[in-house]
Amino acid sequence: MDDIVKAALAKWPNVPHCHGWLALDARGDWYLRDERAQAAGPFPQVKGSRIRHDKLLGFIQRNYTHDDAGRWFFQNGPQRVYVQLEAAPYVWRVAAAPPWPLTAHTGVAAGQVASAWLDEGGRLFLAAQLGFGLVHTLDMHAAADAVAQGHWQPREATFGELPARFGYVLSPVP
């Protein structure tokens, strides 16, 4: 967490949390969901405005974490901005060659993979040291190579059971 965020938390400890205004899609892109986007429909059917500003993206990604209840949030100074997740807390980018290291959408190395899961839609999820995430669609070829060579051995699970199994909340509410 950034030092400026820690200082703001100490100075203003009782700022209300924010819900519904920030979302992470299945490709690792962040979206602002203003009142108009929220009124137009739920995420991910209505995504909102994609965040493209590099410094803002970096700030969000450095201050992205979760609470004990599995609700992911961005600590924006003294305010927690809870994140709606389309699929999982992380979106993995997979290197194209053995040992197929993973990098999260936040730019952080994922570490060792503990388990692999295929949902009913054929999406590949990986539980790694950093946490639980979905393999980015553009990296499925590399992931398929890792599976074919026995590096990961996916088990089947329904998408609906993954949040409870891996301790995260798709859509935190107040």
- Sorted by where each starts, the structural domains of the chain and their CATH numbers stand as 3-85 (3.10.540), 90-164 (no CATH)
pLDDT tens for 108-162 read 999 999 999 999 999 999 999 999 999 999 999 999 999 999 999 999 999 999 9
| Residue 125 near residue 135 (C-beta atoms within 8 A) | yes
pLDDT-derived band at 1 (thresholds 50, 70, 90) equals: low
Q: Mean of the pLDDT values across residues 78-104?
A: 96
Element (H, E) at 140: helix 140-148
Cis peptide before 99 (omega within 30 of 0): yes
Q: Mean of the pLDDT values across residues 61-81?
A: 93
Q: Mean of the pLDDT values across residues 5-13?
A: 64
Q: Which amino acid is at 126?
A: L
| Nearest residue to 167 (alpha-carbon basis) of 69, 64, 65, 24 | 69
Its pTM stands at 0.91
Q: How far apart are CA 79 and CA 61, in angstroms?
A: 15
